[in-house]
Amino acid sequence: MNKIIDFLKVHHDRFEQELIDILKIPSISSDPEHAEDMHITAGLLKDEMQRIGMENARVMDTGGHPVVYSEWLHASGKPTLLIYGHYDVQPIDPLDLWSSPPFEPVIKGGKIFARGSADDKGQIYIHLKAIEAWLAVRDDLPVNVKLVFEGEEEVGSKHLENFIQKHSEMLTADYVVISDTPMFREGYPGISYGLRGLAYLQINLRGTATDLHSGSFGGLVKNPINALVEILAQMKDVDGRILIPGFYDDVLPITEVEHDKLNNLPFDASAFAKSIGAPALFGEAGYDDLERLWARPTFDVNGIWGGFQGEGAKTVIPAEAHAKVSMRLVADQDPDDISKKFIAYVDSLTPVSMQADIEALHGGFGYITDLNNPGLQAGVRALQKAFDREVDFLREGGSIPIVKVFADIVKAPVLLMGFGLPDQNAHAPNENFSLYNYHKGIESIVYFFEEIGKLKG
């Protein structure tokens, strides 16, 4: 192993330069004007995969922006890793808030500032450089590796599920590895073992055929906004507990081990509240802050509208009122089941004077990896060795729908080993990636291959 680690040291500067080179290409997947840049980036990745010794490297059609694939499958009897990442980046607006041009990478204070640095080019380069080091020094890998880098993550991975379905044979693996998340705090490696899911719906309430004058009709008719707020107010009790019947049926409880691990993470509620400009935090009674954020489901009204929204006073009883609502789910809640329960509950709360039309708009399963999973444990050992620090056990409050797709189709546990930082500005101006984390990340993956190689395939 020392020789591989030495290799990393020798090539330290080149690894940075190579990352800078790919960060210069504006691979904005949402902007048709950058279609050519998407192809240039995909081609550069394919060439790089070939150069470092990956095999069958190719740019594969998906119907949208292509997937870049390659493999190295000579570790017979050893586990196979499917490493997923994405080479597309977020748009750059508002450009005037950037301190330096988003596609002219600048190193400042140990960080590289550029669009895509943390999300996700820096993180896919960690894997490429770890593979390069192993193959350059040993001409061998202790695991089988398949790389799948897509170009549509920032636009909802529209074609990826089909691609995975279609190529499910090619993509068989024992573990899926994704490096696209931040660590919890600087200097401390983290591994994410859970994600929340989502059920997103829209309620449309209609009271009358047309808007009515509140003087001529007020008192005689039910106002759909009044009805809507009364319905939505019955979604949670004063303790923040969700009142939809059966909502918690499939929620996996937080184990004592998890509770202790989450509790070990430093979280300053009042500093956090201050950072977002909130007078105070609020969450479900009986749970700690990080449990509320990562391990408990939520109910939020994401949008509401109806009636008069202009300047001044218009005395209207509107014909309609609308709300968009979503529930963050946790394993093992099923978004379809939750949507059905929500619809039934809203129907039961809708007064006879009102017509309700409820549509499910979007959904995804939550995900959790067993803390005792051997792949996860291998990741923990590798991270600890590279960073020389205890590993933070994290969950994500958000959803990465593709994780559940991988888990279901590839039928392998998903390991989320991310090397970003909380202030990485992933979807904002001045996106940045810590170079310390970049190099420690490469070292971590070098050790991770070794650790995974000790497991059976």
Nearest-angstrom CA–CA distance, 177 and 140: 20
324 vs 389, which CB is nearer to a second copy? 324
Least Cβ distance, residue 23 to a second copy (angstroms): 24
**Whether 234 contacts 243, CB under 8 Å:** yes
251 is a contact residue toward a second copy (CB under 8 A): no
Least Cβ distance, residue 43 to a second copy (angstroms): 33
Interface of this chain with a second copy, residues 262 to 291, rule: CB under 8 A: 272, 276-284, 289
243 is a contact residue toward a second copy (CB under 8 A): no
Q: Measuring CA to CA, which residue among 132, 116, 135 is closest to residue 19? A: 116
Interface of this chain with a second copy, residues 143 to 162, rule: CB under 8 A: none
Of the candidates 83, 212, 391, 403, which one interacts with a second copy according to CB under 8 A? 212
Backbone CA torsion sign across 247, 253, 258, 260: positive
Q: 339-358 mask for a second copy (x: CB under 8 A)?
A: ------------xxxxx---
Part in contact with a second copy (CB under 8 A); list of ranges 18-26, 56-64, 89-97, 392-400: 392-400
Least Cβ distance, residue 227 to a second copy (angstroms): 9
351 vs 453, which CB is nearer to a second copy? 351
Least Cβ distance, residue 299 to a second copy (angstroms): 8
Of the candidates 78, 196, 404, 440, which one interacts with a second copy according to CB under 8 A? 196
Tokens of 8: 């990393």
Degrees to nearest 5, angle at CA 441 with 167 and 174 = 30
299 is a contact residue toward a second copy (CB under 8 A): yes
Least Cβ distance, residue 60 to a second copy (angstroms): 28
316 is a contact residue toward a second copy (CB under 8 A): yes
Nearest-angstrom CA–CA distance, 277 and 269: 12
The secondary structure of 16-37, three-state, reads HHHHHHHHCCCCECCCHHHHHH
First-residue to last-residue Cα distance in the chain: 21
235 vs 380, which CB is nearer to a second copy? 235
384 is a contact residue toward a second copy (CB under 8 A): no
DSSP E strand boundaries for 308-413? 316-317, 320-329, 355-364, 367-368, 392-396
Least Cβ distance, residue 377 to a second copy (angstroms): 27
315 is a contact residue toward a second copy (CB under 8 A): yes
241 vs 381, which CB is nearer to a second copy? 241
Of the candidates 21, 61, 308, 336, which one interacts with a second copy according to CB under 8 A? 308
DSSP for residue 188: B
Least Cβ distance, residue 359 to a second copy (angstroms): 10
Helices 435-453 and 122-138 pack at an angle, to 10 degrees, of 50
Nearest-angstrom CA–CA distance, 118 and 319: 47
Part in contact with a second copy (CB under 8 A); list of ranges 86-94, 167-175, 212-220, 439-447: 212-220
Part in contact with a second copy (CB under 8 A); list of ranges 81-89, 293-301, 374-382, 405-413: 293-301
Residue with tokens 């619809």: 343
425 is a contact residue toward a second copy (CB under 8 A): no
Q: Is 275 exposed, middle or buried (0-12, 13-18, 19+ CB in 10 A)?
A: exposed
Q: Is 28 exposed, middle or buried (0-12, 13-18, 19+ CB in 10 A)?
A: buried
